[in-house]
Chain A
Amino acid sequence: MIPRWLLLLAAFLFSVLLGLGASSLVLVAVRIPVIETFWTMFDGAAGSWSALESSLVFTEPIAFTGLAAAVAFRARVWNIGGEGQMVMGAFGASLIALQTTLPAPLMLVTAVGCGIACGAIWGGLTAALKVWLGVNEVLSSLMLNYVAILWVQSLVYGPWREPGGGWPYSEYFPDTARLPSIGSELDAFVIAAPLLALALAIWLRFSRSGFEISVVGHSHDAARYAAISVSRVTILVMLISGGIAGIAGIQQVCGSAGRLYVLTPGYGYLGILVSWLAGHNPFLVLVMSVFYGIIMQGGASLQIAQIDPSLVRIFQAAIILFALAGLTLASRIQTRPRSKVVDPA
């Protein structure tokens, strides 16, 4: 019997190949040289150490939003609000960095803490709406994404806009509120991501609440039978998920940017897809976010080679579409009899 993980790995790799195949059809259709394009992407994203470092810049936020999604999805709580929770994390950190004058070590710690708290509150809001008012979390977390983005826009186009600056940026943060840098483009959180993944893996696997999350994720009825409060678990995972997504936002403003701006959209949504591809396993989330970082940096290198970088979004979607089909089919091979999951999103 082939081990299950090998089967899934093979299915994933095969799906990626099919996705790249479909992408090359698109390239052929618009008369862009196929091999040259893929080589440009690979060379620019993984061809050298400095290229890999640039890829990790994209990996960092995706790793955090991916871990955030994994925590919620394990309980089958559909937190689609990673984007908004990330943006609120950036806001929370900026609030401390711009509006207070704290001494050196305290400044950064408080900014990070406030960012995580803001992300957690934003996630908790979705949980509260679901638990007490019966609002579907997919929609409420999504709507809150737009609210969070507009909130930060209102700040950077309004009261927090750099005096005399023409662009929607805040003033630069004081150095005390900046993350220590690693290499030329990365910051200290690149180390925090694997540590967090490890902590989450241990917590989810060995703690009581980690077990409760799995039970709720498998069956609400089983959870109730075991006297596990579905509401409590929902609130718990949304707070944690929101807080972790907040870290992605903190990293973007306290890292190399060093000020608040309208964050590049999409990391929150990518985190969801990465988490799903990783089967909500924290370590695999890291692997997948590195994979994604490479694809995104590959897109950036296309831009340098004067090829339309939005091509890469088609590549991403093609790869995910095939991976979705491939992994769904592969996971069915050995899992019969299937357990019926009755939990409409």
Chain B
Amino acid sequence: MNAAFLVSMLATCVAAATPLLLAALGELVAERSGVLNLGVEGIMLVGALTAVAVTLATGTVAVGVAGAVLSGMALGLLFAFLTVTIRADHVVAGLTMVLFGDGLSSFAGHGLVGIDVRDSIHALPLPLLSNIPALGPIFFRQNILVYFSYIMVAGVWYFLYRTRPGLALRAAGEKPSAIDVAGWNVFKIRYLAVIFGAGMAGLAGAFLSVAYLHSWAEGMTAGRGWVALALVIFAGWHPVKLLGGAYLFGFAYILIAESQVIGGVFFLISTYVMQMFPYVMAIAVLAVMGRESVKRRSGAPAALALPYVREER
């Protein structure tokens, strides 16, 4: 394994990690506001399909990506209505969203399976930055959505920790009655946070279909939405730690894909056993985090998955 191969492999890790990072960032914001959206997997599927369908219909990938984000936001609105307004159980509502997204995308996407999206998103090396040895090829010869994910990590961090609305959002997830008394609208905050999160999940789906695999396949997210949920816990609900976690998982995915190329000990293990790796790793990582959180504050929002009832504050 030479240096050039390592660099190109790490670059593919960054690409593989991007859908996880986008979806997890969105979910992090939703959870920070107190809403647990387990429906990420379903929303990603709908986003992935919408991106392909709209791109094929309009011939422009940018419109396709925008459509994916909008479809995600629409599902987010539905989810927020169920959990914030009707106060349905977050876990059941989330599972229903997965079922809904899975059913909707496989029904509507029947005729589109395997069709190549002609106008897909290609790599766009950044001037100057892409010439930095090692780091340039790994981080700055990616496509525009990858760059967007970097910006979003910084943006979400800045919003949550350096702005008043961000403080209000975090408070809505910790003690909604306090923020209500302070004059903020808890329902509005949670609605916006969930819709933002679902839009990011839609974008993550679009990344998979038009920027990564370049076509639609039924159930193509293959558990990435669930891994994104695990990442949020792994990161202790902090956007910057999320970055590291996502790249770790991107590495796990690429290790599977490249296991035959790398050869050696990996060649002996069945590909099915190799594919278990990200899931087992997710559990292991959660276990390590779990032990930590027993000792310290875990960072979970105190009011996560609890409906807010004004009359009971």
Q: Are A342 and B306 closer than 8 Å at their CB atoms?
A: yes
* Residues of B contacting A272 in the complex (Cβ-Cβ under 8 angstroms): 92, 95
Stretch at the interface among A1-9, A193-201, A316-324: A316-324
**Bound-complex Cα distance A207 to B6 (A):** 60
- Residue pair A313, B38 in contact (C-beta under 8 Å): no
B87 engages A143 (CB within 8 Å): no
Chain B interface mostly helix, strand, loop or mixed?
helix
- Name B110's closest neighbour in chain A (CB-CB): A308
List B contacts of A98 (CB < 8 A): none
Partner of B283, one of A129, A312, A318, A342: A129
Distance to closest chain B CB from A302 (angstroms): 11
Complex Cα distance, B99 from A318, in Å, reads: 10
Q: Across the interface, do A143 and B92 meet the contact criterion of CB distance under 8 Å?
A: no
What residue of chain B has the Cβ atom nearest to residue A143's Cβ? Answer: B279
**B90, B99, B230, B290 interface centre (most CB from chain A within 10 Å):** B99
Query: Smallest CB-CB separation from B288: which chain A residue?
Result: A133
* Set B91, B92, B110, B233: member contacting A310, Cβ < 8 A: B110
Stretch at the interface among A151-159, A250-258, A283-291: A151-159
| Contact between chains at B38 and A138 (CB < 8 Å) | yes
A328 near B226: Cβ-Cβ < 8 Å: no
Count contacts between A and B, CB distance < 8 Å.
138
- Given A143-B282, A144-B283, A151-B276, verify A316-B91 contact (CB < 8 Å): no
Please, how many angstroms separate the alpha-carbon atoms of A133 and B286 in the complex? 8
Within A202-247, the residues touching B (CB, 8 Å) are none
Smallest CB–CB gap between B299 and chain A, Å?
13
**Which residues of B, 268-300, contact A by the 8 Å Cβ criterion?**
270, 272-273, 275-276, 279-280, 282-283, 286-287, 289-291, 293-294, 298, 300
Pairwise interchain contact A321-B100, C-beta atoms closer than 8 A: yes
Given A143-B282, A324-B88, A344-B300, A134:B233 Cβ within 8 A:
no
Which of A134, A150, A332, A342 contacts B275, CB < 8 Å?
A: A150
B245 to chain A minimum Cβ distance, whole angstroms, is 13
Closest Cβ of chain A to B165, distance in Å, is 24
Q: Residues of B contacting A325 with CB < 8 Å?
A: 82, 86, 88
- In the complex, whether B103 has a CB less than 8 A from a CB of chain A is yes
Residue of A nearest to B111 (CB): A308
Q: How far is the CA of A317 from the CA of B150 in the complex (A)?
A: 35
Do A317 and B283 touch (CB < 8 A)? no
A24-77, CB < 8 A from B: none
Cβ A317 vs Cβ B287 within 8 A: no
Chain B interface residue count, CB cutoff 8 Å, equals 52
Residues in B with CB closer than 8 Å to A316 are 99, 103
Let me know if B99 and A158 touch, CB within 8 A: no
**B309 interfacial contact with A, CB 8 Å:** yes
- In the complex, the answer to whether B229 meets A139 with C-beta atoms within 8 Å is yes
* Cβ-defined contact, A344 with B304, below 8 A: yes
Chain A interface bracket (under 10, 10 to 19, 20 to 34, 35 or more): 35 or more
- Report the separation of the CA atoms of residues A313 and B107 in the bound assembly, to the nearest whole angstrom: 8
Partner of A317, one of B38, B89, B99, B233: B99
CA distance A129 to B82 in the complex (A): 31
Contact of A338 among B286, B290, B309 (CB under 8 A): B309
Q: Tell me the smallest distance from the CB of B75 to a CB of chain A, in Å.
A: 11
Instruction: Report Cα–Cα, A312/B104, bound state, in Å.
Output: 10
**Beta-carbon contact of A328 and B107 below 8 Å:** no
Q: Is B106 positioned at the interface, with any CB of A under 8 Å from its CB?
A: yes
Residues of B within 8 A of A157 (CB): 272
Report the nearest B residue to A312, measured CB to CB: B103
Which of B107, B275, B283, B312 is A143 in contact with, Cβ under 8 Å? B283
A314 touches B104 (CB 8 A): yes
The answer to whether A154 touches B273 (Cβ under 8 A) is yes
Complex Cα distance, B86 from A324, in Å, reads 9
Chain B residues within 8 Å of A151, by CB = 272-273, 276
Which residues of the partner chain B approach A140 to less than 8 Å between Cβ atoms?
A: 283, 286
Most buried by A among B89, B98, B229, B309: B89
Is B87's CB under 8 angstroms from A344's CB? no
A80 to B94, CA, bound (A): 12
Say yes or no: A139 contacts B230, CB within 8 Å: yes
The answer to whether A338 touches B312 (Cβ under 8 A) is yes
Bound CA span A158–B223, Å: 23
A146/B107 in contact, CB under 8 A? no
CA distance A158 to B269 in the complex (A): 11
User: Whole-angstrom distance between the alpha carbons of A133 and B100 in the complex?
Assistant: 33
Q: Which residues of B contact A139 (CB under 8 A)?
A: 226, 229-230, 233, 282-283, 286
Expressed in whole angstroms, the minimum distance between the Cβ of A66 and any Cβ of chain B is 13
**B93 contacts which chain A residues (CB < 8 A)?**
324
**How far apart sit A272 and B89, CA to CA, in the bound complex (Å)?**
13
Is residue A273 contacting chain B, with contact meaning CB distance below 8 A?
Answer: yes
A180 to B159, CA, bound (A): 63
User: Within 8 Å CB of A143, what residues of B?
Assistant: 226, 230, 279-280, 282-283
Cα distance, A340 to B272, chains bound together (Å): 45
Per a CB cutoff under 8 Å, which of A147, A158, A317, A332 touches B103?
Answer: A317
Contact between chains at A133 and B291 (CB < 8 Å)? yes
Q: Within residues 247 to 278 of chain B, which ones have a CB less than 8 A from any CB in chain A? A: 270, 272-273, 275-276
Q: How far is the CB of B262 from chain A (nearest CB, A)?
A: 19
23 A-B residue pairings within 8 Å (CB atoms): A135-B283, A136-B233, A144-B283, A146-B276, A150-B272, A151-B276, A153-B272, A311-B107, A313-B104, A314-B100, A314-B107, A317-B96, A324-B86, A324-B92, A325-B86, A328-B86, A340-B312, A344-B36, A344-B300, A344-B303, A344-B304, A345-B90, A345-B91
CB-CB nearest 9 A-B residue pairs: A313-B103, A134-B290, A154-B272, A317-B100, A143-B279, A133-B287, A310-B107, A328-B88, A135-B286
Apart from the given pairs A134-B287, A134-B293, A340-B312, 15 other A-B contacts in the complex at a CB distance below 8 Å: A80-B91, A134-B289, A135-B287, A142-B226, A144-B283, A158-B270, A310-B107, A313-B103, A313-B106, A314-B103, A316-B99, A321-B82, A324-B96, A325-B86, A332-B87
